[in-house]
Amino acid sequence: MREASGMADPLLDRDAATAALARVSAAAGPYLDSLAARPVHDPAAAKLLAGLAGPLPEHGDGTAAAVERLLEIGTATATASSGPRFFHFVTGGTTPAALAADWTAALLDQNAFARVSSPFAHEVETVVLDWLRQLFGLGAGWGGALVGSATFANFTSLGCATQWWGERQGADTVRDGLSGLPRMPVLSGGYVHASARKALQMLGHGRDTVEVFARDDVGRADLDGIEQRLAGLGGAPAVLIANAGEVNAGDFDPVDALAGLAERYGAWLHVDGAFGLFAALSPRTEHLMRGIDRAHSIAADGHKWLNVPYESGFALIREPQRLGTAFGMPGAAYLPGPQDPGGGYGLYGPESSRRARSLPIWATLAAYGRQGHRAMVERHLDLAQHLARRVDEAPELERLADVPLCIVCFRVARPGLAEADLDRWNRAVGEALIADGRVFCGTTVYGGRVALRPAIVNWRTTPADIDLFVDVVRELAARTGPDVTSP
C-alpha cells in the first residue's frame, strides 16, 4: 500500500493534509453517532493493537495510509470515554463546540507561550480566564493560568503558596529553593487528593508534608484539630487545603469555615475543586462552594465537568501577580520576561511552550454560555439522584453515602455476609464491569469498605444510560455473588 516512492518526506506529501483531514472528518460522524449505543470497551478488539507496533519504519507509508490505519485501530480499540456510560474516575466528554475548537487548535498549531509567539492565543486565554472567573462568581482581581490538568493546577497553586510562604519569612524560594527553611506546614482534612500530594512532592516539600486532620474514617475534616495546629504554630505561616468535591462520594470540606480559619491565622487557603467547583453553577449546590472567593488559590479541571477535551485544567489565583513571580523564567536573552509587553502565559505557569488549550474552553462557553453549562450540571445532579433511587430500590445494593453532587457511592451487599466477603464480592463486581465493557466504573475503599463510585459528568448521559448501568451491575453481582463458586 506504499504510495509513490519519495512520499516519506512530508514536504513531498504536503497536499495530503486536506484529504487526510477529510478522512478524519468522515470517520468522526459515525464514531460520534455510535457513542450512544456502543460498549465503553470492546475487549475483543484489543488484538488490533498489534497493528500499531513493529519496528520503526525506515520508509513511511505516507500520510493517507498512516492516518487510515490510526483511525481504523483507534475507533475500534479506544475506550468510549467521551461517551455517556464511562463512569470511572471523573471523566467528562467533549461538547460539539469544544471538539471542533480542539481540532482548530491543532490546525492553527499556536504556541501559547507569549504574546510574541501568538497574540491570538494570548487574547483567547485572557478572555477565557476572565470568563471562568465570572462563571464561578469570583471577584474582578482574580487571574489564573490554563494548565494540562488539575494535578498541574494544584502544582501551580501550591507553587504560588510556596513563594508566598517563603516571602513571609524573608526568603526567596524561587531563587534559592527550600534549603535552610523549616518544613512548610500543609494542613488538610482526610479528603485530600493524591494529586495535591504529588504536587507537593514535585515542589520539593515531599508528599508526606500534608498533615491530615480527619474526624472519621471517611475523611471528614476535623476543624478543631486544624485550628489547634494553627494556633500551635505561633504565627508561623501555613497552607490549608480545602477539598471541594472528593472523589469517593462528591462530599465537600466546609470551605467557608476553613476560609475563616485561614483569615484568623494568616494562612494560605488552597481549594482543590477539580470537579466540585462546578457546584457554583447551580443554585441547588452553590452553598457547597460558599467562601470560595476567600481562598487564595483554586485548582480545577476543564476535562471533567466543563466537557472539553484532554488536557485541560486551570489554576485561579487571587493575587495573580504571584504567578509571574513563582513561574517567571528570567535570564535567557531571547525570551521576554514576565512583565514585558511580549510576555504571556508561558511565564505565569509551569509550562513554557504550550498548545492553545484556551480554544475549546472559549468555544464551549461561547456556544452554550452560563445557562447551557448550568443546565448540564443540573442534569447530572438529577441523574445522580436517579441513580441513588435505583440503588436504594435494589435489595442487593447498599448506598454508602449521601449524594450531594454527581457521584453515587454504593456496594453490593447481603445481610449476614462478613465484611471481608463483601469486599471480595465488590472487587469481583468491579473487575467484571471492566471486563464486560458495556458500562465503566471503578471501585474505591470508602470508610474501610470496598465500593463502586460512578461519577456522572458527561453531557451525553441520559436516564437510560443510568438504568443500563444499574442493570449491568445487578447482573454481574448475581454472576459473581458469594454463592457462585469460581471455576
Contact residues: ligand PLP, CB under 6 A? 90, 149-151, 193, 195, 245, 247, 272, 274-275, 301, 313
Supply the minimum distance, in Å, between the C-beta of residue 351 and ligand PLP: 14
Which CB, 273 or 336, lies closer to ligand PLP?
273
The span from the CA of 468 to the CA of 389, in Å, is 14
Supply the minimum distance, in Å, between the C-beta of residue 398 and ligand PLP: 24
Maximum separation of any 2 CA atoms in the chain, in Å: 76
Specify the DSSP element, H or E, that contains 228: helix 223-232
Supply the minimum distance, in Å, between the C-beta of residue 256 and ligand PLP: 18
Which CB, 135 or 407, lies closer to ligand PLP?
407
Which CB, 301 or 423, lies closer to ligand PLP?
301
Supply the minimum distance, in Å, between the C-beta of residue 405 and ligand PLP: 11
The span from the CA of 306 to the CA of 288, in Å, is 18
The span from the CA of 359 to the CA of 112, in Å, is 11
Give the burial class of 471: count Cβ atoms within 10 A of its Cβ; 0-12 exposed, 13-18 middle, 19 or more buried: middle
DSSP structure string for 309-356? PSS-EEEEESSTHHHHHHH--TT-TTS--TTSTT--GGGSSS-SS---
Which CB, 89 or 103, lies closer to ligand PLP?
89
The span from the CA of 359 to the CA of 210, in Å, is 35
**Residues whose CB falls within 8 Å of the CB of residue 276, separated by 6 or more in sequence, listed in order:** 243, 244, 245, 246, 250, 252, 288, 289, 405
Which CB, 20 or 200, lies closer to ligand PLP?
200
15, 77, 131, 390 from 102: Cα distances, Å: 22, 22, 18, 37
Supply the minimum distance, in Å, between the C-beta of residue 171 and ligand PLP: 28
Which CB, 406 or 466, lies closer to ligand PLP?
406
Nearest to 305 by CA among 387, 241, 245, 219: 245
DSSP structure string for 173-202? HHHH-STTSPPPPEEE-TT--HHHHHHHHH
Supply the minimum distance, in Å, between the C-beta of residue 155 and ligand PLP: 9
Which CB, 138 or 247, lies closer to ligand PLP?
247
Supply the minimum distance, in Å, between the C-beta of residue 265 and ligand PLP: 24
Which CB, 402 or 421, lies closer to ligand PLP?
402
Cβ pair 129, 136 in contact under 8 A: no
**The residue type at 478:** A
Supply the minimum distance, in Å, between the C-beta of residue 305 and ligand PLP: 10
